[in-house]
Amino acid sequence: MRKLHLLIRQIKKCGSLLNAYLKPLEKSPFIVDAPLSEVNVKRWHDGLSSNATDKVAEEVPIALIYNGVSHAVMLATPQDLEDFALGFSLSEGILQNKNELYDIEIVTQAQGIELRLEVASEAFAMLKERRRNLAGRTGCGLCGAESLEQALRLPVLDHSKLEKTVREKKDTLQANTDAASGVSLGKMSASSILAAFKTLQTKQVLQQATGATHACAWVNAQGEVVMLREDVGRHNAMDKLIGALAKSAQQENGFVLTSSRASMEMVQKVALAGYDMLAAISAPTGLAVRIAQTYGVTLVGFLREQQFVVYTHPQRIKN
């Protein structure tokens, strides 16, 4: 079945190349398929003005298309798009694991970018059953929901799936834990959390250039940022990180760190990915705290250079 999917994929790709040759793409003047661009600005300082250039982060409509059927359109920064496609698919419950994704084609169109995913027939059949239209906007995780049930679409309420995911990850972690390291499974030291905060900004290349992006990072038990993804949308940055972690089979003990506030969806994505701690630079929402408490996620907020607040499951953090 997978070979058939790949053959169909190659045929479609040949058709796309032929169409591109016969009809040149007339690109929208609004679309830039790069993570940042430069604009001319007039800068004012102490009553004086000067001409200058400034770097700005880009956001582009990104269409996620599964087996030829459009499912969602999100506004996102056009980098790490394969990570985004996989992470979004996993965090939305469209895919149960990375092996259900056969192929991704990134196609630049006149009005944005298409991520064309070929997925397992079982996953696609389930997607069609619960398919809905989404119209994503920067910083909005619920846009396009057609009912309250869809808005509060808590896939983590599937206890069996959540517990199985967490158990499998923890079993692997336990097998890889070095008893001599002094780091208990699932526990983080306060010093590691504070060290990660100090390191995060130095790793945010796009944020340093533009001042307009969020970051989500994987931090190991020593407080080192070992993987980081950026985007104008915090949910997109989280999906990119989840996708990258899934591809790398990251099994080292650690936690997720975000430069944003901790909304319900950020906690939800962490829980579904099987990670048990989320640290945020800003505040959590009440709904995020309740979900974290229920589903076993240690939630840290207001992380600063010498302080942070633990909202749920404080037993995972040691002095």
Which of the residues are catalytic? 140
CA distances from 10 to 1, 15, 103, 109, 202 (A): 15, 9, 11, 19, 41
Residues whose CB is less than 8 angstroms from the CB of residue 41 and which lie 6 or more positions away in sequence, other chains included: 51, 52, 53, 54
Instruction: Name the β-bridge partners of 318.
Output: 189
**Residues, the chain, total?**
319
d(CA 288, CA 275): 15
Question: Letter for the amino acid at 186?
Answer: G
Q: Which residue has the tokens 């989840």?
A: 242
Q: Which of 198, 207, 210, 247 is nearest to 227 (CA)?
A: 247
Alpha-carbon gap, residue 18 to 71, rounded angstroms: 25
Inter-residue contact 234 to 258 (CB < 8 Å): yes
Place of tokens 């001409």: 51
Q: Quick one: tokens of 132? A: 């809905």
